[in-house]
Structure 1
Amino acid sequence: MENQWTSGLCSCMEDGKTVCLTCFCPCVAFGRIANIADEGNHGCGECGIFYGLICCVVGLPCLFSCTYRTKIRRKFGLPESPASDCITHCFCESCALCQEYRELKNRGLDPSIGWNEHMQRATSPPMGQYMKS
């Protein structure tokens, strides 16, 4: 059984900050998404720069970004909708990035802090544990 996306592809206005980030700084948004999807194996900066280079050289960043949509879908068991990952990114790159960013946030993986920070927070004992009574 597949899970469902927590928001729709065209639900961009649910989160104004994410809309602005994905529309005006797609390299940053993509880099953050890729860092989480790759579980920290690739840094936000390196993925964002590569995305920008593809955008400048080839003009089709969707050829790269759609592979990360696939990783996110597989990670959470999400359906490939409303179309294939490649078509979704080719025809609606900003909306796809925005949806993926929201999906990660809605599932407790805030892309703005990165994978390593999530892992550090997950393994750190609660602050009160160190306090003496």
Structure 2
Amino acid sequence: MSSHGKVPWSTGLCDCNEDTGNCFLTCFCPCISFGRIAEIADEGSFSCGACCALYVLVHLLTSRLGAVLLSCVYRRKLKKQYNLEGNDCTDFCLHLWCSPCATCQEYRELQHQGFDLTKGWDGNVGKRRAGVEMAPGVQKGMNR
């Protein structure tokens, strides 16, 4: 834990080596990754589809800058919810110059927190209410 009581992100910005599916999704269709993150960060207030549509609309109306700012809002929410390190200036720079990497890191952080982002908020809350323990991430490949 840092001296300010903030905890580091569970993965680094460029730790995509075991996360290729998320990386491809984020690079080729960032609105879906954003939608999944936003649905969890908003605790199901808005669906993945609605957040995805908002991202696309903002991107179309404002060019890339609006999508960068929108992504920063959700990175800030995640930092607040999980007491993560970082500041608003760094977040803006990350999403401006390396948005796919920042989005992938946010996605991985939510997975680390026990969420299956493909199931959305309701799918994750339903599991937790039923008392089903969230499975930790499984390494790919055979290990002994």
TM-score (norm 1): 0.88
> Where in structure 1 do 4 or more consecutive aligned residues deviate above 6 Å?
none
Q: What is the match of residue 24 of structure 1?
A: 28
State whether structure 2 residue 60 is matched by structure 1 residue 56: yes
Pick from 86, 91, 98 the counterpart of residue 80 of structure 1.
86
Gaps of 5+ in 1: 127-133
Determine the C-alpha separation between the residues in 1 that align with 2:86 and 2:63: 24
Q: What TM-score do you get using the length of structure 2 for normalisation?
A: 0.82
Aligned to 2:113: 107
How far apart are 1:13 and its partner, in Å? 2.6
In the aligned structure 1, how far is the partner of 2:109 from the partner of 2:124? 16
Letter in 2 for 1:62: V
How large is the Cα RMSD of the aligned pairs?
1.6
Aligned-pair CA distance for 1:119: 0.8
Unaligned stretches of 5+ residues in structure 2: 133-144
Identity fraction in percent: 42
Number of residue equivalences: 126
Rg larger in 1 or in 2? 1
The aligned residue for residue 129 of structure 1 is: none
